[in-house]
Structure 1
Amino acid sequence: MSSSDGTAADASWERSDGRSRPPPTVNTIRRIRQACTNCRHRKTRCSGERPRCMNCRRVDRVCHYEPYSTTNPPSSASVAANNGAAKGKSPSSLFPRAGVVDISRLPLATRKSRQSSPSHRLLSINIRLPPPSPQTPFPTCQVQCMRFTTAPPPAVMDHLIDAYFLHVHNQPYSYFHEQSFRERVNYGLIPKCLLFAILASALKFSDIEYFQGSIREATEAYAREAWLAILHEHLTVENNPTLAERTLTLLTLFYIGGRTSSGWLKIGLAVRIAQDLQLMREPKNTMPPIEQEEHRRAFWSIYLLDKLVSVGQSRPPAIAEEDIHVQLPSDEETLRRGIWKKTPTLHQLINWKSETESSVNGTFTQTILAATALGRCCRYVLHGREMDEMPPWDPRSDFTLLNTFLLLIDHHLQVETPSIPQIVEHYRRPDGTLDFQSLEHVVFARIVFHTAHCLLNHPFLLRMRLQKSNCKVPPKFLTRSFQISCNHARSISSLVEDAIASGCHVQSSFYAYASILAGGILSLAIHIDQEKGQVTDPETLNHYQKAIHILERTGRRWDHASKMVSLHCLFRAIL
């Protein structure tokens, strides 16, 4: 029989009545005619149920089915043409679009031949399209949800990676050597979980037109995809858990701004993974210097996050200082050059008898020192630690020891000098641009230092502790402690304002907590003056307004900051 006869016979059989077809046997495999978009992207078996398949119901995900003609696999001729067009392309042009054809990046001749070929309709279904216009007849929410389950186009990807290293990296968390990370992206060596976590982190600082009107949806979708990739690809199998640990800490930054409990749980998981990977110890010297430094920075970023989140009530830190044996991060210039450098450990640096240099060169180390002091103060003030038998004014008390430790941190950070404008000029490059990856740490470390002082001397927290001790309080103790807290609250507002005026980013979510703490202390001082019938110092009023302005500014990017603004306004209305 000829080929044409066979084709005609097949077509005739397809048109015949269903009763003439042979009945299926008992062991015949039931094939799903069409899988949903999510299952096709993940290459998982789809149950084909409508309106939601079994996999989408299990993870509570939007389930979307495309018309059947768009789910047919491309013909072998189409695949061959696609492979031929990809020859000569660099890995960077192929990576995020694995299995996706971008017609606009093909040569002109190839584009014309594709558009005129019958297979073009099948190949063009996965082209990245711009956001649908208001006149689009399809459901916009469904289209956008599906659009954000895969990597964006190359130009958008490059923009978001640039935004990550400009606004997120080293502000204050640090995970990567920038140049080697970009090379790994170009060669497709960054797994989906880590890549999508970076996209979710960077989107808060992006205004690219591709996400216009759907930044929140895209951010949540990328974070969700990163979390699902961790569960499916890294936590359920032995598959490089280091990537899962870094992804978890990045996701924590996303969730901690709105869903604190979810972020808190992810921190705990990241800490356990870090302990299991022995990140708290020095990496093997057989590793390249860049990988060793990324190993250290991955741990210290988890440590930093663990300490900063401990400012929440009943959320004690999970990492003990005595369990840490890895050396502190190197300075940024050493990291960029990719060379190894000996640095002290945390234990060596927080010891008064240490022979290490009095000044700390690495700006990331300054932040770690300040966060260590904050963690100790939070454990003493907030986390229900057993009451110190010594009253706080006793030289042997924990309160006095903490003040002594803060004096040591002040010695390392040189908090009072130089000023912020002088620091900014120190980190200005010859071309006039600022080295934000070094500069932001210096500002952040000082804000954390003053926050620790505000917590330790907070009038409410200190009075609550003294009420439990049932001891006679010296008349001047509370007055002096309150004055110390007010001074450091003013320092927070001044530092942040000077940093903003000097061109610093000042975008970390922690600034919301620091500003509401400072504003609350200054508001209390103003209220006390009103109760006494005294005129409030204009400087106090000015610093209070600065603190509220900082909180409002932070609330433009972080949900928890905007909630703080609303609660503060309500509190002021009640007073």
Structure 2
Amino acid sequence: METTEDGRPANRRRTRTGCMTCRARKIKCDEAPAPATACRNCTRARLECIRADNGTASLHQAARSALAVRAQGSPQHLTQAGLQRRRTKRSCTTCRLSKKRCGGERPQCVRCTERDLGCIYDEGEPAVRPGQSQSAATLSASSASPQSSSHASTVAVTIAALDKALARELSESFFTEVAPLRCHNFLHRHMFLQELDALPHPPAQDMLVLSVCALATKTMAQGARYWDVGCTWAREAQRLVMGELEDVSVRRLMCLVLLYEHANRTNEQRLCFLLSGLASRFTQALSLNLEYDHDVLFTDESARITAVARESRRRLMWACYILDTMLACGLRDLQAIDTSTLRIQLPCDDRHFLYKRACVTATVPTDFLSPVEQRKDHNGDRPAIVTENQGLDAFLVRLYLIRDHVLQYINSNTDEQDPWRVVSLLADLDHWKEALTPELQLNADVMAVRQDEGTLAALVSLHVQYHQVNCLLYRCTIPSMLFPARVQTGLSVKASPDFLEESRKGWFGHACAMTAIFEVALQHQPAALADHAVAGSAYNAIIIKWLYLTNFVPVAERPAQLHVIRPLVEIDLQFLQTIQGYHATVRTTAAMAAKLVDEASQHIAQNPAVRLSETGNPHAYARLGRPLGRIAPDYRMNRLSAFARMRRDIPDRHAPDPGPASPEEGNVWAGEKDRLWMWTE
């Protein structure tokens, strides 16, 4: 074959009369002669066929010039060549802002599904909603429309778009939905809003305002409108907080707590773990576990801090304690805040806090949960709980203190030394229930008032947590369902069969009581569904019912009991499926619950005598013969706990002892070893 000096075939003729559109697309033009107005390629693609005035014009000159002029008026969905942008897959906004590879699956990509993230695809330019500020519209547009600029420019635009009007709107959502939950109301509402209005600089420059607004974007009131830019604000607030960590202050600690809750609602478990440790160290550095001084009633008006600041510090300390104990799940090697060091009052009621009035509530001594032998009377006669000036937050703190001791009891060898400690803990729970004030009872009148005040979800969460803690405690009577699973415990050996049977009925009864609360909450949605954390309790309630049916109900009585349990399980499942519409992080839990209900029903239908197990490894650690304290936390927690989920996401984690071999034959049904019949703490 003859070739030219540059190596090209000699018989190859270079196209000189093809359209510049085909040249820009880098495809061969058929060079349709006149009178045709367009070549077949442009006609088929419905594109404008641009031709040079001179057929021999260079593409580098004439085509580039023509296409550049054309691109000046082109919308963003067109390329520089004036062609419509076509991509087989488009990344969702969450993956794009996180700079992660997105599979483009609709309606939710795989990465967002696995991490329980809000998966949103940009479908076009959003319209301005009635009553929405111009900055809010700009902010939504910047996060919902394709960007041709860099990610850094996008971040700068979205952060700057947070003006005072939008910040105030988001702050109202925060105080309505987030503040009533788990002692997050350490910010005085009116003082914070006044401070926001008086800011001498844009709100985006204040780390506390950024943290509040970022967390408010994960509430039901805001939905998915600002989800992505809220994540951007959270990262910016985190950058501001971490930039000067040596500046240990209460304000910076408030940001850490709010950023923890934001990370929890976006399922960033590694960040939660690190932020909780940092917050615990801040409390120790600030000595928030102690009263500021002995002037609790603020009699000296010349004091350095006001009564509001004192109460705010107390609430902040209790919020840090709650998030720390929730993550540790009773394991001392993970818990950073020692309960015995807490020497501050319980939170006062909201009325005193809002009106800036100092008051005395009660302190929780270290022997609040003392063993039976330290009780005043073994028959249950004990001093009444002081409830003066205490509201929902104070009772929530008391309940978490009981929960902490319950988890320490079932996750340690205390059962061997004092098996009857369970009686004392049950008495503490009953005592807590009896001490509830009329304003904290779960009845129609109180729920109506709470709904008007915006604290109904907090009341529902309080009562659900009470039954959840009871279920945790009763679980110690079932050694095979503990973490790690055991053959026996001191209680199971020494307790009578009647006591064990009554305890298991109580286990089942509290699960049914949670279902009753879920049914009432569904009637008061969405106000009663603001707390996403109750989803884990609904999942537990489902599992308890199936385990009780298949392990402790005689086979002959199961058909009748199944007719009772199935409607209750359907209510739990309906609650999960409803709450996932308000909280994206609940989607995985709801999907797992639906799958477990279907498969459990199938196994029971196929074999009425089947025994479903929770862990699928009932005799594992009993064979090891090692104390529980020497077993890695990975095996002392279930796979749905925050710590276990955090560990799974770390590629360089140190692998713990993998444990013993598989369980004995016949203890579990096939395939259960890899299942998620697991308990969430």
Q: TM-score range by the shorter chain?
A: 0.5 to 0.7
Q: Which amino acid aligns with 2:392?
A: T
Structure with the greater alpha carbon radius of gyration? 2
Q: State the match for 1:73 in structure 2.
A: none
Cα distance 1:180–1:472, how it changes in 2: closer, same or farther (>3 A)?
closer
Query: 277, 286, 292: which one pairs with 1:277?
Result: 286
> What displacement does 1:227 show?
1.0
Query: 249, 252, 276: which one pairs with 2:257?
Result: 249
Q: State the match for 1:336 in structure 2.
A: 354
Cα distance 1:358–1:350, how it changes in 2: closer, same or farther (>3 A)?
farther
Take 2:325 and 2:473, find their aligned partners in 1: how far apart are those partners? 15
Query: 194, 199, 216: which one pairs with 2:208?
Result: 194
Q: Which amino acid aligns with 2:322?
A: L
Take 1:267 and 1:168, find their aligned partners in 2: how far apart are those partners? 18
Kept after mapping to 1: 8 A contact 2:347/2:393: yes
> What displacement does 1:307 show?
2.7
Q: State the match for 1:157 in structure 2.
A: 167
Q: State the match for 1:569 in structure 2.
A: 594
Structure 2 unaligned spans of 5+? 1-96, 100-134, 296-302, 370-375, 377-381, 601-681
Structure 1 unaligned spans of 5+? 1-59, 63-124
Structure (1 or 2) with the greater helix fraction:
1
> What displacement does 1:165 show?
0.8
SS in 2 for 1:569: helix
Cα distance 1:313–1:225, how it changes in 2: closer, same or farther (>3 A)?
same
> What displacement does 1:179 show?
0.6
Instruction: Give the length in aligned residue pairs.
Output: 437
SS in 2 for 1:282: coil
Q: State the match for 1:405 in structure 2.
A: 428
Q: Does 1:167 align with 2:177?
A: yes
Coordinate RMSD, CA, aligned:
3.6
Kept after mapping to 2: 8 A contact 1:327/1:346: yes
Q: Which moved more, 1:269-278 or 1:248-257?
A: 248-257
Q: State the match for 2:270 in structure 1.
A: 261
Kept after mapping to 1: 8 A contact 2:173/2:221: no
Take 2:323 and 2:568, find their aligned partners in 1: how far apart are those partners? 28
Take 1:524 and 1:136, find their aligned partners in 2: how far apart are those partners? 50
Kept after mapping to 2: 8 A contact 1:289/1:338: yes
Take 1:344 and 1:134, find their aligned partners in 2: how far apart are those partners? 50
Kept after mapping to 2: 8 A contact 1:415/1:446: no
Q: Deviations over 1:183-216 (max 9, x none)?
A: 111122886222222112110125659x74xx43
> What displacement does 1:274 show?
0.7
Q: Does 1:475 align with 2:483?
A: no
SS in 1 for 2:493: coil
Take 2:367 and 2:519, find their aligned partners in 1: how far apart are those partners? 30
Take 2:143 and 2:464, find their aligned partners in 1: how far apart are those partners? 44
Take 1:423 and 1:156, find their aligned partners in 2: how far apart are those partners? 33
Q: Which moved more, 1:561-570 or 1:330-339?
A: 561-570
Kept after mapping to 2: 8 A contact 1:364/1:441: no
Q: State the match for 1:446 in structure 2.
A: 463
Take 1:132 and 1:316, find their aligned partners in 2: how far apart are those partners? 41
Matches within 5 A, 1:381-400: 381=410, 383=411, 385-390=412-417, 392=419, 397-400=420-423
Cα distance 1:314–1:279, how it changes in 2: closer, same or farther (>3 A)?
closer
Q: Which amino acid aligns with 2:215?
A: S
Take 2:444 and 2:333, find their aligned partners in 1: how far apart are those partners? 36
Take 2:530 and 2:192, find their aligned partners in 1: how far apart are those partners? 23
Take 2:445 and 2:333, find their aligned partners in 1: how far apart are those partners? 37
Take 1:264 and 1:134, find their aligned partners in 2: how far apart are those partners? 31
Kept after mapping to 2: 8 A contact 1:374/1:448: no
Take 2:343 and 2:441, find their aligned partners in 1: how far apart are those partners? 32
Take 1:481 and 1:415, find their aligned partners in 2: how far apart are those partners? 28
> What displacement does 1:537 show?
5.2
Q: Which amino acid aligns with 1:204?
A: K
Q: State the match for 2:548 in structure 1.
A: 525
Query: 525, 528, 538: which one pairs with 1:505?
Result: 528
Q: Which amino acid aligns with 1:253?
A: E
Q: State the match for 1:177 in structure 2.
A: 188
Matches within 5 A, 1:49-64: none
> What displacement does 1:295 show?
1.1
The share of aligned pairs that are identical, in percent, is: 18
SS in 2 for 1:149: helix
Kept after mapping to 2: 8 A contact 1:350/1:408: no
Query: 457, 461, 468: which one pairs with 2:481?
Result: 461
Q: Which amino acid aligns with 1:170?
A: P
Give the TM-score normalised by the residue count of structure 1: 0.67
SS in 1 for 2:435: helix
Cα distance 1:224–1:400, how it changes in 2: closer, same or farther (>3 A)?
same
Kept after mapping to 2: 8 A contact 1:199/1:219: yes
Take 1:365 and 1:534, find their aligned partners in 2: how far apart are those partners? 44
Q: Does 1:545 align with 2:570?
A: yes
Take 2:199 and 2:254, find their aligned partners in 1: how far apart are those partners? 18
Q: Does 1:228 align with 2:245?
A: no
Take 2:316 and 2:252, find their aligned partners in 1: how far apart are those partners? 11
Query: 333, 338, 345: which one pairs with 1:320?
Result: 338
> What displacement does 1:141 show?
6.6
Cα distance 1:380–1:553, how it changes in 2: closer, same or farther (>3 A)?
farther
Q: Does 1:203 align with 2:214?
A: no
Q: Deviations over 1:416-463 (max 9, x none)?
A: 9944313224x36xxxx71124x4443322211111001111345359
Q: Deviations over 1:85-107 (max 9, x none)?
A: xxxxxxxxxxxxxxxxxxxxxxx
Cα distance 1:482–1:355, how it changes in 2: closer, same or farther (>3 A)?
closer
Cα distance 1:467–1:296, how it changes in 2: closer, same or farther (>3 A)?
same
Cα distance 1:158–1:315, how it changes in 2: closer, same or farther (>3 A)?
farther
Q: Deviations over 1:391-410 (max 9, x none)?
A: 74xxxx22222112212212
Take 2:337 and 2:438, find their aligned partners in 1: how far apart are those partners? 26
Take 1:312 and 1:549, find their aligned partners in 2: how far apart are those partners? 30
Q: Deviations over 1:146-172 (max 9, x none)?
A: 433335133322211111111111123
